[in-house]
Structure 1
Amino acid sequence: MSSLTSDQVALQLESLPNWSLEGNSLSKTFTFEDFADAVGFMVRAAFHAQSLEHYPVWQHDYNTICVRIGDPAQHAIHSRDVQLAKRLESLIG
């Protein structure tokens, strides 16, 4: 697992619409049509997180999911943080 420089993080964020850097985490709020769509996204996202053995912190409220990806103990953004963010983006049609 390699940590990214601030320039590398900035470059990766250019390809991740509406993601932002918050401390040592990547974050985004996803909004869906309804509760079922939001939960469906979380289930699909769980399979990607499991395959990477990298788990986001998320907050779910009806049709909104706030996702934070990162490991506060590492004090940096890592390549797998970006990889998971990109996989979550691929779930949005």
Structure 2
Amino acid sequence: MQALNRMNADEIAPNLQSLPLWSLDTGLKALCREFRFSDFGQAFMFMTQVAKAAETHNHHPEWRNVYNKVWVTWTTHDVDGLSLKDIQMAKICDQLFSGPTS
């Protein structure tokens, strides 16, 4: 298993370019995004898909849900900041939100 390393500002900046809808919360040292759906069922289905991916990657989000909105936060507590796992999981969230890819 590869050791996780905390990303520095020079490493974070280019990765954020590929995640334009995510914001960097410097206080939480985290990536954050709000997702909106047509109804609660769609929001819950998205959360279920993210939960399955999180289990597969052994990296879990901080999140909350109110009706058709899901707020997702990625941070790596083990390094007290962002790691590549956070970037990867944010990209997975974007892919799941966009729908299945072929």
1:27 aligns with 32
> What SS does the aligned partner of 1:86 have?
helix
Structure 2, unaligned runs of 5 or more: none
2:79 aligns with 74
The sequence identity of aligned pairs, in percent, is: 33
Q: Name the larger-Rg structure.
A: 2
- The question of 1:46 aligning with 2:51 is answered yes
Spell out structure 1 runs of 4+ moving beyond 2 A: 71-76
Contact 1:25–1:72 under 8 Å retained in 2: no
Structure 1, unaligned runs of 5 or more: none
Contact 2:6–2:80 under 8 Å retained in 1: no
Report the RMSD for the aligned CA atoms in angstroms: 1.2
In 1: Cα distance, 2:93 partner to 2:5 partner: 20
**Larger relative contact order (Cα-Cα within 8 Å, sequence gap ≥ 6):** 1
> What SS does the aligned partner of 1:7 have?
helix
> What SS does the aligned partner of 1:59 have?
strand
Following superposition, the deviation at residue 38 of structure 1 comes to 0.3
1:13 aligns with 16
